[in-house]
Structure 1
Amino acid sequence: MASALYPSFKELLLGGDIDLASDDIRAIIVDTADYTYSSAHNFLDDVAAGSRVATSSALGSKTITNGVFDAADVTYNAVTGDSVEAIVLYKHTGNEATASLIAYIDGVSVTPNGGSITVQWNASGIFSI
């Protein structure tokens, strides 16, 4: 599966219902053996809890420049569990049924060993519109 923005996110963004700069945006590293991207998914409760290997705190140093969203790299500490093949970005609301999915990013390949995992975003940004 190629990386993609969730269609529901695009609608929220165009409708002004999500603000990447000020909303609490988080990143989950996932095992694709347990989660498969679907354009029909719209909230965090669509991402099976068993597929989530680790979840970040709020992304820091977020920027939006020339249509490119970026943020500081993310470090997950003491990670154990299944292998990681993708990252799911979402808007944290405290309720999985209202936490909007933003982006699915594939191309990750990490096997947790109890140590830290650092996600270094692409130098050109996390995603562009």
Structure 2
Amino acid sequence: MANTSYPKGAQKMLGASIDFADDTIKARLLPSTYTFSTAHEFVASLGTGVGTDQTLTGKSITGGVLDADDLAFGTLAPGSTVKAMAIYKDTGNTSTAPVLFYYDTVAGFPFDTNGGALTVPWDNGVKKIARITAPFYPLGAQKVLAGEINFSADTIKVVPLPTSYVYDDAHEFLDDIAAVIGTAQTLTSKTIADGVFDAADPSFGAIASGSTIGSYLIYKDTGTPSTSPLLIRLTSDYAVGLPLGTNGFALSHQWPNGATKIFSLIPA
């Protein structure tokens, strides 16, 4: 297959249960007998690994990108075949330690152990260990990886942005947005299912004519613009019907009904 996220792990990331900065994150080498399943949720589902699980050190989260020092597994006894590697949060109990990422597209995998030492280098490109990218704002994605955004419990709002808005990777909070169109609406009936976020379609009420909507902004509302993190900007690449001129009538927006809904943390 290909490198991917465990859906139940992605679900926990969106529920602020995973803090890659402060949690103990480990890697396990998986033998050829392991079969990936989207239903796998905890380390107990992985079975016995090859060698000793290693803790990620030198971790960093920058703009939605997770990185760490290369992994050194030490000497591996001969007689095993390593097919993949899993990343998980170590809770001290394999029945409660969530599995997060699965990697089988790694240089040199699969391989037979021969008594030599193994070091696994992370990608030196833009992806590193893992990356949350568009439609997320980089600093919003960074907060997701640090467990600062709970899409289930936090107040998450959406508001239209005018075509005059100029996107900037450095934009972090609501007060970085000079102007919006209409009144922000709180997302209701939110669901997080296997790393996929959905909510009821928002209704913005009557919007005065004369504006052109270029995108929709989703953010966490803290009650203060200077501390309300920007999370997602949905442009015409992600939202049907944009740009859209306002005409004084009521405006509703329909979220996609496909598998990814509003967004998904599972790679396509």
- TM-score (ref. length: structure 2): 0.45
Higher RCO, Cα 8 Å, sep 6+: 1
Deviation at 1:73, TM superposition (A): 0.4
Q: AA paired with 1:12? A: K
Q: Which runs of 5+ in 1 are unaligned?
A: none
Please say which structure displays the higher CA radius of gyration. 2
Cα displacement (A) at 1:111: 1.9
Amino acid at match of 2:96: T
Measure the CA separation in 1 of the matches of 2:91 and 2:131: 23
- What are the equivalent positions in structure 2 for 1:50-65 lying under 5 Å apart? 52-65=49-62
Secondary structure of the structure 2 residue equivalent to 1:13? helix
Counterpart amino acid of residue 100 in structure 2 = I
Once the two structures are superposed, the pairs formed by residues 35-46 of structure 1 within 5 Å of their partners are: 35-46=34-45
Partner of 1:111: 112
* Distance in 1 separating the partners of 2:131 and 2:25: 16
1:5 equivalenced with 2:2 (yes/no): no
Q: Residue 122 of structure 1: SS of its match in structure 2?
A: coil
Q: CA deviation at 1:86?
A: 0.8
Q: CA RMSD in A?
A: 1.2
Are 2:28 and 1:28 equivalent residues in the alignment? Answer: yes
Conservation of the 8 A alpha-carbon contact between 2:26 and 2:90 = yes
CA drift at 1:56: 3.1
Q: Which amino acid aligns with 2:119?
A: T
Instruction: Give the Cα separation in 2 of the matches to 1:109 and 1:11.
Output: 28
**What is the DSSP-based 3-state SS (H/G/I as helix, E as strand, rest coil) of the residue aligned with 2:102?**
strand
How big is the shift at 1:102? 0.6
Q: Report whether the alignment pairs 1:127 with 2:130.
A: yes
Counterpart contact for 1:28–1:53, Cα < 8 Å: yes
Within a 5 Å distance, the mapping from 1:53-92 to structure 2 comes to: 53-80=50-77, 81-92=79-90
For structure 2, the residue ranges without an aligned partner over 5 or more in a row are 133-268
Runs of 4+ in 1 over 3 A off after TM superposition: none
Letter matched to residue 103 of structure 2: I
* CA distance, structure 1, for counterparts of residue 51 and residue 70 of structure 2: 15
Question: Offset of 1:11 from its aligned partner?
Answer: 1.2
Residues 56 and 75 in structure 1, CA contact (< 8 A), matched pair in contact too: no
